[in-house]
Structure 1
């Protein structure tokens, strides 16, 4: 390949892109190992690890006991010894059982030991609603972990970023938590072949606009883009920002967009109170971008309730395209 040629790009699903990233990393570095419940012969709760056990064997693709606390602890310990473990929680909800290892160990050991060690563990957390999995298997808890210094927290919304952010996470000396929305696993999109990284801490402007900034995460990026196309037909030009990383948040990209558009809508699936959008709103309010606002900031987050099992109630519990449309229309017409 010459210096001016572009890497081959193929359409892969979000799940296939993640598996390809793990395969590339494992092939290049024997320190990379996979750990988690049912990731071996079964191939993972959502089939993401697939047949990697056949290629790399049970010493590098390890089924852990049904103990999230124990499995996360082993992964943290493995990272401390020089390995590069990728630990999969079957559902992000189950990380609540491993919080001791995530929050009190992985996040703090580098600081508490004066920088003499690092904890290069990657944790994959399938999250979000839309599968009818009810209250204990459908939460969006990324704001919990993003509150903790020492952790990096990412939310890829596309197959290309799912691969690139995972490979970037494996290069990082600190613990990185990757929240993968379950509904996105089957979504296909262009993914470059080979090794590449998507920078942690850098948002993407996925649609440029002049009238309102919509900052979104994970599946809400796609809902925001759908709403933006409908709004364009009404003469409202929305700029859509995919945060991609929620710790650290890309402050510069968000503030520059707000200075340009003068309006801000934050869309995220986690419960509205103290969610990702609350941090983005505060960040804008505490900056000079606040002086450019022509209307109050709007947050569209999840309802103040557990995720229901009933499919219609489940949809009602998280923002949908009509909610985004109504919020932007009201902003544009000065109703907010």
Structure 2
């Protein structure tokens, strides 16, 4: 079984599905000849041809609009937006058309497209290159929003996203692209969408996170274990639709919850989870829910990124606070 990093896992998933399904096509800026800015599509145009791995102009609106048309016509386009800060011009087509096509046509048409984009900070990139827009897309009916947190989940979830009959926003944590490797079976087995993954069992507190922030969340759980605190870790993975049942079951066991994400705090997706806990799990809580998030600012440059991103120390402090709340 090969050891892959996350960007290699994405490449393998794309290659597998293209080999199995001739309706799968890729499009995006520099994805063909150059293999993508992060090399996620390297070698695919040489293998499958320029008619299926299509280099586009620098025009995100056109990429999204073309993908919607392809999907409506029976193809399965996987469109890459080079950085998540450039994803906003796609909103007209993705929200007004892709997300509504099944409803608008009363089920006669669907829109099986995937919009892939690197997401989040941690690589010292300039402005517009480190956005975390998951909450924006999760707010919109008709869209699935998926954020993988490891190579194996990137592989399995991307396969599931391509096979889904409706549009999926697939945000790949840039910081995790080459952070670590793990064994990934390149066997075409998809992971289920719309479910959370329990990465670690615990009895004292539930840590809920997704994407790159899970790296610090897991390190915080290790540090807490040295203090005798058993943290349960939930990887949300599919933010929309949200598998709230898994989170509620965990909080019913632990009585406490800390939510960790690197997107800005106000109206971040963690607030949605906290609201659901207040509505459905209030009597399980022994202390207020805590959130560890980014700040309500633009992602700062260079080393200041690490002052913005949730740290192990901040997560541990939030857990200690919730443990003191009862």
The TM-score with structure 2 as length reference comes to: 0.98
- SS at the partner of 1:82? coil
Q: CA RMSD in A?
A: 1.0
> Is 1:185 aligned to residue 165 of structure 2?
no
Shift of 1:222: 1.4
Check if 1:303 corresponds to 2:299: no
Q: 1:62-101 maps to which residues of 2 (within 5 A)?
A: 62-101=54-93
- Partner residue, 1:331: 322
In structure 2, distance between residues paired with 1:189 and 1:219: 15
Question: Which among 15, 18, 21 is matched to residue 7 of structure 2?
Answer: 15
Q: Aligned equivalents of 1:90 and 1:251: distance in 2?
A: 31
After superposition, give the CA deviation of every residue in 1:211-261 in whole Å (9 maximum; x if it has no partner).
000000101111111000110110111111000010011111000000000
Structure 1 residues 132-174: Cα deviation after superposition (integer angstroms, max 9, x where no partner)? 1133111101110010000000000010110101110111110
Deviations 1:274-301 (A, max 9, x none): 11110100111110x2101010011111
Alpha carbons 2:194, 2:241 under 8 Å: kept: yes
Partner of 1:211: 204
After superposing the two structures, state which structure 1 stretch, 108-117 or 150-159, moved more. 108-117
Tell me the CA shift for residue 193 of structure 1: 2.3
Could you tell me how far 1:17 is from its partner in structure 2? 0.7
Note the 1:41-60 alignment, pairs <5 A: 41-60=33-52
CA distance in 2, matches of 1:323, 1:175: 35
Question: What's the counterpart of residue 124 of structure 1?
Answer: 116
Matched residue, 1:265: 258
What is residue 3 of structure 1 aligned with on the other side?
none
Q: Which 4+ stretches in 1 moved above 3 angstroms?
A: none
Q: What's the secondary structure of 1:199's corresponding residue? A: coil
Q: State the match for 2:310 in structure 1.
A: 319
Residues 235-254 of structure 1: matches in 2 within 5 Å? 235-254=228-247
Q: How far apart in 2 are the matches of 1:135 and 1:298?
A: 29
Distance in structure 2 (CA, Å) of the matches to 1:296 and 1:74: 46
- Residue 88 of structure 2 aligns to a residue in which SS? helix
Q: 1:144 matched to which residue of 2? A: 136
Q: What is the alpha-carbon distance in structure 2 between the residues aligned to residue 188 and residue 12 of structure 1?
A: 5
Q: Which residue of 1 aligns with 2:194?
A: 201
Per the TM alignment, residue 198 of structure 1 is displaced from its structure 2 partner at its CA by 0.9
User: 1:115 deviation in Å?
Assistant: 1.1
The alignment covers a number of residue pairs equal to 325
Unaligned runs of 5+ in 2: none
Structure 1's unaligned 5+ residue stretches are 1-8
2: CA distance between counterparts of 1:110 and 1:240? Answer: 35
1:29 is matched with which residue? 21
State whether residues 117 and 171 of structure 2, in contact with CA within 8 Å, keep that contact through their aligned partners in structure 1.
yes
Give the drift of 1:194: 1.1
